[in-house]
Chain A
Amino acid sequence: DAGITQSPRHKVTETGTPVTLRCHQTENHRYMYWYRQDPGHGLRLIHYSYGVKDTDKGEVSDGYSVSRSKTEDFLLTLESATSSQTSVYFCAMDSGTSGYTFGSGTRLTVV
């Protein structure tokens, strides 16, 4: 969506390797989020950030870490990828009165 982009859009990686997904926004919004989407579960919150270097865990944070060194970038890292982390990952930013704006998603496959 306008103002927020995710990269890569698709990735296949091997079990045990580290993976980093990037979320970039151009709106200077303070709050950013990483979700994963799995069938039957909707979207579940992994981590969120409420400012530069300020992050906290969501409900499914095990195996993931995040970093936010600049307002515009929010990185999600899988320390050692497992097959259970095969999913579609969405980044979002809180756009205030407009609600949340979501990125287009990253489809990650761990083989």
Chain B
Amino acid sequence: SAVISQKPSRDICQRGTSLTIQCQVDSQVTMMFWYRQQPGQSLTLIATANQGSEATYESGFVIDKFPISRPNLTFSTLTVSNMSPEDSSIYLCSAAGANEKLFFGSGTQLSVL
């Protein structure tokens, strides 16, 4: 299993600013994922982050809005750019473990005023 440290755990931001969320895994993992979860809702995949290549974004998410870095096999960041109140959500990073299981960080609760 993998232990994932995600920070910040929560933040309150002003409209128009950007926030970078960091995710550190305690072991090397090939694939990492970033999800968004709105209150009481399902998880929506934002993008897949592989080391050494550009992130792959899902429909409705673009690199300019959600730039992702994956500098090595244990770390990734997601930036939420030019924020608006509609970006208020929980953002979750996850890593692919053995046998198609996912391990998750504890999430970042973002509120945009």
A and B: real partners?
Answer: no
Q: Give B residues with C-beta under 8 Å from A.
A: none
Give A contacts to B, CB under 8 Å.
none
